[in-house]
Amino acid sequence: MPLWDVSHFAQVFYGIPFKQGDRILTGVHEYAANYIAFLQVARRTGVRIEVIPEDADNDVDIAALEDSIVRGDRKPALLAFTHIPTNSGRVYSAEAIGAVAKCHGIPFLLDACQSIGQMPLDVQKIGCDWLSGTSRKYLRGPRGVGFLYASDEAVRRFEPGTLDMYGAKWTAESEYVMLPDAKRYEQYEKCFAAVVGLGAAVQYANELGLDWIWDRVQSLAATLRAQLSEVPGVQVHDKGKVLCGIVSFTKDGIAPGQIKAALLERGINVNTSLKSSTRMDFMKNGLPDEGVVRASVHYYNTEEEISAVVQAVLSIF
């Protein structure tokens, strides 16, 4: 189901009827846009936000998640987790979270914006009620469009945050009927060119094969991390049992923005991730306040390009 880039998460989240005393359980590396929504609802309704710590492998601590669920006066209203953060290469075990959610009958919303397109995802195996994704990242589609998966159970139990004439039918002067499937989350106005572009990107990724893409991305990223780790003054910040194509690093005495600008002069595109994007992660894992450099490899990159990046980082200042 196509939606605008960020509205799909909001359509789900703001459609949940939170009330005072409810709890939202989330993760250390939750993205700012999602966490700000949690804070807004907390101000409005008095819900509590609980951040589940990570285990020794920098994954969600499932034992701590279980403990948080059972020690409350009522079970949480929502488990909301980001699969892969914007500032690091680690991958949370979504299936483990999904198993806990199913065991306790708690709705589970997964933000998969960073994972869609670089790794295989199976919503049945994950066990999520909703999965939100975007077109413009590893899927390599156009900006401004994304998609949402909603399970049959989620559609049965919850309404979207907003409805219009595309997601519901006006049946009488004071009555409406929502569509019986996930299309109820859609809005009438959309950019059809972007939707077509999203479809083309999905088709292209499927033709290449997500298993092959995932193997290629992980291999290139592992090579980049290994070579960057040998550069004097460079710290690679990705930690986890499973790592993806996002490689985050810093170099002593040089601001991430300076590194980005210097690499761009050499024809190398990287980005920076700031503390404001994943504040809890920066605080709990001791990441530098000035941010990190984010180098995202994809299947089309070559080993020669990886070496060129490393040599460029070595030569900066």
Strand order of the sheet with strand 146-150?
A: 2-3, 146-150, 130-134, 108-111, 78-82, 23-27, 48-52
Among 234, 226, 242, 288, which residue's Cα sits nearest to residue 87?
288
**This prediction's pTM:** 0.95
- How far is residue 233 from each of residues 81, 103, 254, 269, 314, measured CA to CA in Å? 33, 46, 10, 21, 9
Tokens of 158: 């919850």
Summarised one tens digit per residue, pLDDT across range 15-51 is 999 999 999 999 999 999 999 999 999 999 999 999 9
Cα 82 from Cα 149, distance rounded (Å)? 15
In this structure, which CATH number among 3.40.50.1100, 3.30.1370.10, 3.90.79.10, 3.90.1150.10 belongs to the domain 210-315? Answer: 3.90.1150.10
Class of domain 2-205: alpha beta
Measured over the CA atoms of residue 265, residue 235, residue 82 and residue 131, the dihedral's sign is positive
Summarised one tens digit per residue, pLDDT across range 165-175 is 999 999 999 99
Summarised one tens digit per residue, pLDDT across range 205-241 is 999 999 999 999 999 999 999 999 999 999 999 999 9
Tokens of 83: 């699969």
pLDDT band, very low/low/confident/very high, at 161 (cuts 50, 70, 90) = very high
Domain ranges for the chain: 2-205, 210-315
pLDDT band, very low/low/confident/very high, at 8 (cuts 50, 70, 90) = confident
